Amino acid sequence: MSDQADYQALMSDLIKKQMVMLGPNLVLSKSRQVTGLTVADDGTVQSINGDPQVALQELVNAFMSLSGQIAQMTLNALLEKYPGVKKPQ
């Protein structure tokens, strides 16, 4: 799997988990504000335009503002599945 695909899969997983935790409308609304990200209604990231690391950082920041440590813990668990993805700040 390429790095880009890894980023796409990780962000899809993260969005879907956040949808279960916080509710779909809110999470989709937040995710779709991330620059360059196209997100389907089920939370799948369909495409990333631009630097995926920047997109991931923006997405994580958005979720951190909603659920703080929970978003952080979810991300940490997912990062173990995708070792090719650099941990956001």
Contact positions with other proteins (CB under 8 A) in 34-53: none
Looking at the DSSP assignment, which residues form a beta bridge with residue 48?
A: 37
Neighbours of 1 (CB within 10 A): 9
Asked whether the beta carbons of 52 and 1 are under 8 A apart, the reply is no
Q: Residue from 66, 78, 79, 82 that binds other proteins (CB under 8 A)? A: 66
Residue 23 as a binder of other proteins (CB under 8 A): the answer is: yes
**Closest distance of CB 61 from other proteins, Å:** 13
**Closest distance of CB 47 from other proteins, Å:** 22
Distance between CA atoms of 66 and 84, rounded to whole angstroms?
26
Closest listed residue to residue 72, CA positions, set 81, 59, 85: 59
Give the interface with other proteins as residue ranges (CB under 8 A): 17, 20-23, 25-26, 29-30, 33, 62, 65-70, 74, 77
